[in-house]
């Protein structure tokens, strides 16, 4: 990635990615470090943006992976279990508070097809509005609401099937 493109990407997406990371970490210094590492990784690695999703979604995926790696690394060092990734007020999201349940739900989410997986993650973990999610996908707010609702139903069905 050339320096002009990298600078434009940084200026355009830094605050959005930082906000997303803050929802995961809930601590400014750690969020800043993960965000910086996200852009460093995005700019310096040989893997390039394929254009299959929005740049913001790609960067959030990188940030999420860095966050998960950091949580694993710190839990191995400290010998403590992983903390929860996010809190919300609905029953599915509340199930994420238990780390074992959280891991199992993330496994189910990982296997979910797009766009349901991405919409659900942006809404729950990214705490984005339906209007913002619709804009990311270049769709309407209603499309984002319906897709999120369907994703929740699919996840609930899979949770019931796997007795989570």
Query: Residue 53: left if φ>0, alpha if ψ -120 to 50, beta else—which one?
Result: beta
For the stretch 53-77, pLDDT in tens is 678 888 888 899 899 888 888 777 7
- Give the per-residue pLDDT at 74: 79
* Average pLDDT of the residues of the chain: 79
| Longest alpha-carbon distance in the chain | 50
Q: Are residues 6 and 57 in the same domain?
A: yes
Residue (of 151, 140, 157, 155) closest to 107 by Cα position: 155
Q: Are residues 107 and 44 in the same domain?
A: no
Residues shown for the chain: 164
User: Region 105-114: what's the mean pLDDT?
Assistant: 80
- Give the per-residue pLDDT at 9: 84
- Burial class from Cβ neighbours inside 10 Å (0-12, 13-18, 19+) for residue 20 reads buried
| Residue 1 · residue 48 · CB < 8 Å | yes
Q: Are residues 74 and 105 in the same domain?
A: no
Predicted TM-score of the model (pTM):
0.47
Q: Are residues 68 and 118 in the same domain?
A: no
Q: Are residues 146 and 119 in the same domain?
A: yes
3-state secondary structure of 155: helix
Q: Are residues 97 and 69 in the same domain?
A: no
- Give the per-residue pLDDT at 92: 54
Instruction: Give the total number of structural domains in the chain.
Output: 2
Q: Are residues 160 and 109 in the same domain?
A: yes
For 127, the domain range is: 85-164
Give the confidence band of 34 by pLDDT, cuts at 50, 70, 90.
Answer: very high
The answer, yes or no, to whether residue 52 has pLDDT greater than 70, is no
């Amino acid at each position: 990635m050339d320096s002009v493109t990298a600078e434009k990407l940084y200026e355009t997406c830094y605050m959005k990615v930082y906000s997303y990371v803050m929802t995961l970490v809930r601590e400014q210094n750690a969020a800043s470090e993960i965000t910086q590492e996200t852009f460093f990784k995005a700019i310096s690695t040989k893997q390039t943006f394929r254009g299959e999703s929005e740049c913001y979604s790609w960067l959030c995926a990188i940030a999420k992976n860095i966050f998960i790696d950091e949580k694993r690394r710190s839990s191995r060092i400290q010998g403590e279990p992983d903390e929860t990734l996010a809190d919300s007020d609905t029953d599915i999201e509340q199930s994420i508070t238990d780390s074992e349940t959280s891991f199992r739900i993330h496994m189910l989410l990982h296997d979910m097809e797009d766009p349901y997986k991405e919409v659900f993650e942006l809404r729950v973990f990214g705490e984005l509005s339906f209007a913002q999610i619709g804009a990311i996908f270049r769709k309407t707010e209603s499309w984002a609401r319906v897709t999120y609702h369907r994703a929740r139903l699919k996840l609930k069905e899979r949770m019931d099937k796997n007795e989570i």
